[in-house]
Amino acid sequence: MAKRNFNGVQFSTAPTIVEEAGAAIQDVRNRVVAYDENGKVILAADATTYPIGVALIEAGANDVSGKESGAVAAGDDVDILVHGICYAIANGAIAKGAAVSAAANGTVATATTGFVLGVAMSAATKAGDYVKVKINQYKA
C-alpha cells in the first residue's frame, strides 16, 4: 500500500462522538477504543471488549514536531468514528474481506471469536500497516 498522509483530511462524514479518555494514551490515532468500567474510553486490548469505534487521525495532540502527536491525557477528549469507513492500524497480516476485531494496544486483527469491529476493505501484510475498515460491530 502506498504511503499516505491524511492530516487535515476528513476521510468520512460518518457519525463521530467525543468521549473522555479514561487513561493516558501515547498515541490514540487510528486505534480501536472501548469503554472502561467508568464509561470513559481506553484502547481496546482484544476481542473480549465491545469496540466503540476508531479514534480519528486528528484525535489527541497535534504538534508540528510529531513527538507528541496523538497523545491524550486522562480526562482529555477523544474524537471517535463509530460507524462508517476508517483506517486502523493492523496487528499483523489481514486479508481484504476478513472480519476484524480489536487486538493489543488498540490495533486490529483477523477476528476469530468475540466482538467484531467490522470488515477489512484493504489488506495488511504486517503489523503497523494501515487497513481500511468498514465499521459494523457485532458479536461473532
- Please give the model's pTM, rounded to 2 decimal places: 0.87
For residues 99-110, give the mean pLDDT: 98
Q: Is the residue at 110 inside a domain? A: yes
Are 105 and 124 spatial neighbours (Cβ–Cβ below 8 Å)? no
Domain presence at residue 59: yes
Question: What's the rounded Cα separation, in Å, for the pair 65 and 111?
Answer: 35
**Average pLDDT of span 59-79:** 83
Residue with cell 484493504: 122
Share of the chain above pLDDT 70, in %: 88
Host domain of residue 74:
16-139
Alpha-carbon gap, residue 31 to 90, rounded angstroms: 9
Top-confidence range, 10-14, 54-58, 112-116: 112-116
Task: Please report whether residue 7 resides in a domain.
Answer: no
Q: Is residue 101 part of a domain?
A: yes
Is 9 among the domain residues?
no
**Residue that has been written with the C-alpha cell 486522562 in this structure:** 74
Within a domain: 2 = no
Taking only the tens place, the pLDDT of each residue in 70-104 is 899 999 999 999 999 999 999 999 999 999 999 99
Q: What's the rounded Cα separation, in Å, for the pair 69 and 58?
A: 9
User: Domain count of the chain?
Assistant: 1
The CATH number assigned to the domain holding 66 equals: 2.40.300.10
- With b meaning 16 or more CB within 10 Å and e meaning fewer, what string describes 42-52? bbbeebebbbb
Position 8 in a domain: no
In a domain, 31, yes or no: yes
Residues in the chain: 140
Q: Is the Cβ–Cβ distance between 118 and 139 less than 8 Å?
A: no
Please name the amino acid found at residue 74: A
